[in-house]
Amino acid sequence: MPQNGITQNQQQQHYSQAQVPWSKRSSSIHGAQDTPINNGRITYNSEYRSDSINVYDQYGRNSAPDAARSVTNFTEPDSFHEDLAILELDPAKVVRHSLDPSTMPRVYARNGAEGDTANMKGALVSATRGKNHKLLEQLLHRGVSPNLGFNMHPLKEAVFSHDEESLRLLLLIGADPNESTRDSITPLFTCVERSFLAGATMLLKYGADPNLVAGSEMESALAIAAIANVVAFSHLFLTYNGNANYVTANGSPLLTSAIKKRTFKKFIDMILAYGAKPNAKIREGHTALFDAINLAGVSPDVKKEGIYTPLCTSICDDRAEMFKLLLANKADPNLPASEYPAFKCVTHDRVHFLAPLVVAGAKLDSPKGIIEEADANPNGRSSKGHSALTTAIRENRPDFVDLLIMRGADAHVRGEDWPLVLAVAEPLILKRLLTVMKELQAFKGIMARAVHADQLVSLKMLLAAGVSVEDKNGGVFSPLTTFIREDHRPIVKYLLTEAGGDVNSPGEHLPVVKSLRTYRGI
């Protein structure tokens, strides 16, 4: 039956007389300049073009089209291998490609409803998986999109199979090189996992982004290659706009992440040559040089000139980041330089380093003299009004409380609050303070604070120390009415049955009135 005014015999005669122009092209995209490609679209010379014949429509009607008309002859995979020759690792030679994906060969297939069916999409994936290039080409020309969404991913299938031809066909028809799967895996990321260097080169030429994060770890393809010390991929990505100062998911610069015990020096030289900053710090604050020294097994206690230790120097120079890093890497907090580290915290006014130094194992009582000789005031207060004693109570450090009291700290001196008031929440510390307190009656309302802390043990100790069961907070609120209001029933029972509390002694109200007003049921 005639189609578009031309019979099938006439069509065959037409194609036998004149071969389609793109079959004569060079196998390389960098070949002869007379190729009829404009802005990524295939055009035809006027001698081969007919107003009554649409080449793609004609292709869709023939189940076995002439091989000369196939886009498999459009560009050969060898054209994508041209850049692989530059991948010899030479740090002195930096290559950067000014990439423009819009200049790459493109073929725009027709749009048709038949290509949007589930069967056709499944057939496209199966053809890619089976390396059936002819079928894959037919399906793409019939309008099946190479971008099928998260569940079906032809590009990933081509990468899995190391199938350059399928990958090229998909990209030629418009596959998105940055489209990810439902697991957030991009084709370029998969190329690194599957060691498919030629496929990665092809994807990069069509606009794949080596800095795009992907995968469950949310890392870029460049970061994965650099962390694993995969030299070829790292070099390739850096030549295609890879960011040498990329920061990985854990906050480390690319350079720091690439450093391992067995990393080649040339590999690090290459990353530096592409612009990596050698002094960039990770989230914890140390540099690549510091990591390299640690990985080499250098002791953090090595002395300079037989005297100066890194830890004491970091204290002297007030380098908090280095101080923390040295302690984290097992620097000895009791190893002396010109002074012991704890002494240096006091003599150089670096008291903010003293607490972490003690936590790391510094001994304040050995050698003797850190407090006596340095003449530190145990009752001194910070700019916020905190004293050493109240801070030790707030942090629940009975050992510090005991040490401070032994060194002259006065439990009657106020910090951000009275030491006794803060101590009711910590019975063990309260017990120690009561041994040195002389004027308990001066601290009005202490019983009420014990109620708020819900510490029956502290309440018993206060009563045993002589605090009145009728001690009123602010001259109004009695312990009994306060405990009723706060609904501390075990404490109310204790006050009435054992402590001798008076049920008729008023606070803000009589206890019975307060009970009725705050009744919550039995």
- pLDDT digits 0-9 by tens, 456-511: 788 788 878 877 776 665 555 666 666 666 666 677 777 767 766 666 666 666 66
Higher pLDDT, 304 or 294: 304
Weakest mean pLDDT among 139-153, 250-264, 285-299, 501-515:
501-515
The single-letter DSSP state of residue 159 is: H
Looking at residue 507, what is its pLDDT? 61
Weakest mean pLDDT among 1-10, 96-105, 476-485:
1-10
Higher pLDDT, 333 or 488: 333
233 pLDDT band, cuts 50/70/90, is very high
Looking at residue 22, what is its pLDDT? 31
Looking at residue 279, what is its pLDDT? 83
Higher pLDDT, 374 or 175: 175
Q: Stretch 438-453: mean pLDDT, rounded?
A: 74
- Secondary structure string (H, E, C) spanning 265-280: HHHHHHHHHCCCCCCC
Element holding 263 (H helix, E strand) = none
**Structure tokens, 69:** 């008309």
Asked whether the predicted pLDDT for residue 396 surpasses 50, the reply is yes
Looking at residue 92, what is its pLDDT? 57
Who contacts 131 (Cβ-Cβ below 8 Å, separation ≥6)? 161, 163, 165, 166
Q: Stretch 168-194: mean pLDDT, rounded?
A: 89
Weakest mean pLDDT among 165-169, 275-279, 306-310, 446-450:
446-450
Looking at residue 474, what is its pLDDT? 53
The share of the chain scoring above pLDDT 90, in percent, equals 11
Determine how many CB atoms are found less than 10 A away from the CB of residue 127: 23
Asked whether the predicted pLDDT for residue 44 surpasses 50, the reply is no
- Backbone phi, psi, residue 12, to 5°: -65, -40
Nearest to 488 by CA among 445, 446, 459: 459
Query: What rounded mean pLDDT belongs to the chain?
Result: 74
Nearest to 418 by CA among 398, 455, 444, 395: 444
Q: Sign of the C-alpha dihedral, residues 342, 345, 346, 351?
A: negative
Asked whether the predicted pLDDT for residue 133 surpasses 70, the reply is yes
What's the pTM?
Answer: 0.47
Q: Stretch 78-86: mean pLDDT, rounded?
A: 46
Burial code of 61-87, b = ≥16 C-beta within 10 A, e = fewer? eeeebeeebbbbebbbbebbeebeeeb
Q: Are strands 41-42 and 219-220 parallel, antiparallel or unpaired?
A: unpaired
**Structure tokens, 475:** 């001259």
Weakest mean pLDDT among 150-154, 160-164, 210-214, 434-438:
150-154
**Structure tokens, 430:** 């309260």
Looking at residue 28, what is its pLDDT? 33
Q: Stretch 25-32: mean pLDDT, rounded?
A: 34
Rounded CA separation 399/401 (Å): 5
The three-state secondary structure class of 308 is: strand
Over residues 304-317, the pLDDT tens digits come to: 888 889 899 999 99
Rounded CA separation 363/370 (Å): 10
Looking at residue 379, what is its pLDDT? 82
Q: Stretch 73-90: mean pLDDT, rounded?
A: 47
For tokens 């009563």, the residue is 463
Higher pLDDT, 508 or 374: 508
Looking at residue 307, what is its pLDDT? 86
Are 342 and 357 spatial neighbours (Cβ–Cβ below 8 Å)? yes
Nearest to 109 by CA among 147, 142, 137, 67: 142
Q: Stretch 367-375: mean pLDDT, rounded?
A: 56
71-75, 101-105, 198-202: which is most confident: 198-202
Looking at residue 471, what is its pLDDT? 65
Looking at residue 519, what is its pLDDT? 61
Domains and CATH numbers, the chain: 8-79 (no CATH), 81-106+116-292 (1.25.40.20), 299-376 (1.25.40.20), 439-517 (1.25.40.20)
Asked whether the predicted pLDDT for residue 48 surpasses 60, the reply is no
Looking at residue 312, what is its pLDDT? 92
Q: Stretch 230-241: mean pLDDT, rounded?
A: 91
Over residues 239-281, the pLDDT tens digits come to: 998 999 998 888 888 888 888 878 888 888 899 999 888 888 8
The three-state secondary structure class of 392 is: helix
Weakest mean pLDDT among 73-87, 164-178, 410-424:
73-87
